[in-house]
Amino acid sequence: MARYLGPKLKLSRRVGVPIADIPKHTARRQLNAPGMHGYRGRRPKDYGIRLTEKQKLRYHYNVLEKQFRRYVNEASRRKGNTGEVLLQLLESRLDNVVRRVGFVRTIWAARQMVSHGHVLLNGKKADRPSIAIKPGDVITLKEGIHKVVRENMESLAGHIVADWIDLSPAELTATVTAPPTADQIPFEVNTNLIVEFYR
C-alpha cells in the first residue's frame, strides 16, 4: 500500500488517540469513532487490539508497514527489551528529531522539510527522513528556511524540547546528546502488544 495522503485527522479517529500534538487532533470531540453517531460495532478481539496498537505507532512516526516491520526485526535482533529498542529506533529518525526539536508542528511537515533538502546533518545535506541519528550529531538548517522555522517556533511557544536534544534557538542548531529512552517519549503506547502482533 502506498503512503496515505488523505485527511490526517481520520487516522487519529481510527485508532482513538491523537497521533499529532496539534489542537485539531487533541480536541476531545474530534476523537469520536468515525460515522455520524460514532458507532463502534462489536468489541475488538485480541488481534484487533494488537493491530490498533501497532497502527498507533506507525501513524505517529509516519512509516509504512514494510519499514515498520524492518524496525521490529532490527529491534528483536538487538540486546535489551524489544519494545524499548523499537521505540528508540523510531525516535532517533531524522524527521522525528526535527519534530521533537520544534522546528515544525507535525511529523508530516518534518518529513517534507527533510525530503526537500532544508536540513543539514553534521554540515552535509540530509534528504532521507529515515536516517538514524546518533549522540553527537548536529542538525542545522539552510538559510532559506530560517524565517519559516522561526515562525513555527513562535507558534509552538509552549513546546518542550526532549531531554536528549540540546537546542540553540539563536542559531537554529540542535545537538543530540544521548540516545532517547522509552520514558522520554511523549506518546503512550503498549509496545508489548506490538511485539506480540509480529510473533
**Residue 4, in any domain of the structure:** no
Which residues on neighbouring strands pair with residue 121, listed in sequence order?
124, 139
Q: What is the pLDDT of residues 124-145, one digit of tens each?
A: 999 899 999 999 999 999 988 8
Per-residue model confidence (pLDDT) at position 186: 80
Q: How would you label 30-63 residue by residue, b for 16+ Cβ within 10 Å and e otherwise? A: ebeeeeeeeeeeeeeeeeeebbbbbbbbbbbbbb
In this structure, the answer to whether residues 128 and 153 fall within a common structural domain is yes
CA atoms of 17 and 20, how far apart (whole Å)? 9
Going from the first residue of the chain to its last (199 residues), give the mean pLDDT of each consecutive group of 10, the final group possibly shorter.
78 81 67 63 81 90 92 92 91 92 90 92 91 92 90 80 86 89 81 87
Which domain covers residue 146, as residue numbers? 93-179
In this structure, the answer to whether residues 81 and 114 fall within a common structural domain is no
Per-residue model confidence (pLDDT) at position 48: 87
pTM of this structure: 0.86
Q: Per the structure, how many domains does the chain have?
A: 2
Q: Which of 152, 98, 159 is nearest to 130 (CA)?
A: 98
In this structure, the answer to whether residues 19 and 33 fall within a common structural domain is yes
Per-residue model confidence (pLDDT) at position 39: 60
Per-residue model confidence (pLDDT) at position 30: 58
**Residue 62, in any domain of the structure:** yes
